[in-house]
Amino acid sequence: MSTNTHLASSPDMNFADELRAVAEALEAALKVRDLPAFYRVFRATSLPFLCSELGDNTEALFLRCFDVVHRLGSISPAVALAVENHYYVTSAVATFPAAADSALEDFRQRLMARVAGERLLVANTNSKVHGKKIGAIGTVAVREGTGFRISGEAAYASLATEADILVLLTELAGEGLALFVIPDMVGNPSLEIGDNLFPTAMIDSDTRRIRFNDLILKAEDFATTAESGVAALLLPFEMAWHQALIGALYLGSAARAIEEIRCFANETVGRDNRPLSELDGMIVDVGRLVAEYEISRATVLQCAKQLSMVSDLPGHTTELQRASAAASIAKYGSCRTAEAIVSAARRIVGARSFATGSILERLSSEVIFGTLGPEVTAVIERRLGAQTMQSDRFYGLS
């Protein structure tokens, strides 16, 4: 792995070279179950810090992030999800137009400088916790002198053991939602990182519960509360980045499934001694899958333009709403498409899809998570249905 690390960190490598090196490192790491080796190579490249280079160009940044999570999603959706979590937080913070909120703008600049300067990976979580009541809050922050004390448990944090810092959205007692950055996840005695939340499928997303045992934060670790009109818009802006990039990574799984069909059909000969790839039925079936992939890919890529139109807040609140809606639809369609394409690949390839070392086995167990978050399918459908039923006329006819 040391050779790959050296290769990935070469100053002569361009984006495509680095992405190829990182993809090869992930393939190798999965074979020997050594994901830290993958992250060493990943950290050695410029890929985790695209926001530093492209933070002033939202569209270009999104397209680069798309390429990375799409490629990693073709190898392991679970690992791609962990990387995507780093990307959506850093990209959203880097491109968020916070000039109207000087405190948030200062915090944003300091965080981005630290991430790029110290080459840090960023995990994130909110205050939601598993329970019988949907949306239950599991953590709370209270002011203590000039600092803060955080206690409780958060249900989900991907990239939990590899990340260096943690972005936390939680309740600040008496003040509403607030955003904090926990500056040191490694070896912090007040931060308890739990076992893998998903012990088999998606285990490589490194998703774990996080417990805060009276964690003390300084004033500079506090970003803002949602009381600030501009700060409140950071949450939907982050979600738009998140939903769109989730779609990108699972489309990577769909692309790999189509490639597996192509290889299988070209290598497998039927009873008439002709490759299956020459059968008209096979050609039509694959063409249909490619068309569905391209339709979903286009909806995700369109999000780059939508996000780039949010360049002044609160002035561009309407543009942010449009970007959020576009990302939600893109995520909805692309994740359903990816699951359908992987299922189709399984049916075509047959039982060998589950043979030892088959990529389709990994894709099959991990691609189904796409529709489960961050917004689940039913939430998106219910919102769109309610908007339509409560309007005077369906917007598609306007």
pLDDT in tens, 98-126: 999 888 899 899 999 999 999 999 999 87
What's the predicted TM-score (pTM) here? 0.92
Q: Are residues 217 and 259 in the same domain?
A: no
- Compute how many other C-beta atoms are within 10 angstroms of the C-beta atom of residue 113: 11
Instruction: Give per-residue pLDDT as tens, 287-339.
Output: 999 999 999 999 999 999 999 999 999 999 999 999 999 999 999 999 999 99
Q: Are residues 242 and 353 in the same domain?
A: yes
- Compute how many other C-beta atoms are within 10 angstroms of the C-beta atom of residue 282: 19
Q: Are residues 253 and 375 in the same domain?
A: yes
Q: Are residues 219 and 237 in the same domain?
A: no
Q: What is the CATH number of the domain that holds 373?
A: 1.20.140.10
Q: Which domain holds residue 374?
A: 229-397
Instruction: At 278, give phi and psi (nearest 5°).
Output: -90, -10
345 near 352, Cβ under 8 Å?
no
What's the distance, CA 276 to chain centroid? 36
Cα separation, 155 vs 121, in Å, equals 20
Total domain count for the chain? 3
- pLDDT for 226 equals 66
Q: Are residues 73 and 158 in the same domain?
A: no
- pLDDT for 357 equals 77
Q: Are residues 256 and 393 in the same domain?
A: yes
Instruction: Give per-residue pLDDT as tens, 196-208.
Output: 888 788 899 999 9
129 near 178, Cβ under 8 Å?
no
Q: Are residues 25 and 95 in the same domain?
A: yes
Last residue of a domain, one of 121, 149, 164: 121
Average pLDDT over residues 209-215: 92
Q: What is the CATH number of the domain that holds 220?
A: 2.40.110.10
Q: Are residues 241 and 348 in the same domain?
A: yes
User: For residue 195, how many C-alpha atoms fall within 13 Å in the half-sphere facing its CB?
Assistant: 3
Average pLDDT over residues 39-44: 96
Instruction: Give per-residue pLDDT as tens, 223-267.
Output: 877 677 888 899 899 999 999 999 999 999 999 999 999 999 999
Last residue of a domain, one of 89, 121, 153: 121
Q: Are residues 381 and 255 in the same domain?
A: yes
Q: Are residues 263 and 155 in the same domain?
A: no
Mean pLDDT, the chain, rounded, equals 90
Tokens for 81, please give them: 């999800």
How many helices (DSSP H) and strands (DSSP E) are in the chain?
A: 12, 8
Is the four-CA dihedral 59, 379, 226, 117 of positive or negative sign? negative
- Compute how many other C-beta atoms are within 10 angstroms of the C-beta atom of residue 16: 9
Last residue of a domain, one of 121, 143, 175: 121
Cα separation, 349 vs 346, in Å, equals 5
* Distances 344 to 286, 290, 293, 315 between C-alpha atoms, Å: 9, 12, 12, 45
What's the distance, CA 302 to chain centroid? 17
pLDDT above 60: residue 5: no
Cα separation, 275 vs 263, in Å, equals 11
Instruction: Give per-residue pLDDT as tens, 64-107.
Output: 999 999 999 999 999 999 999 999 999 999 999 999 988 889 98
Instruction: At 96, give phi and psi (nearest 5°).
Output: -70, 125
Q: Are residues 39 and 175 in the same domain?
A: no
Tokens for 281, please give them: 């039925």
- pLDDT for 63 equals 97
SS3 356: coil
Q: Are residues 249 and 180 in the same domain?
A: no
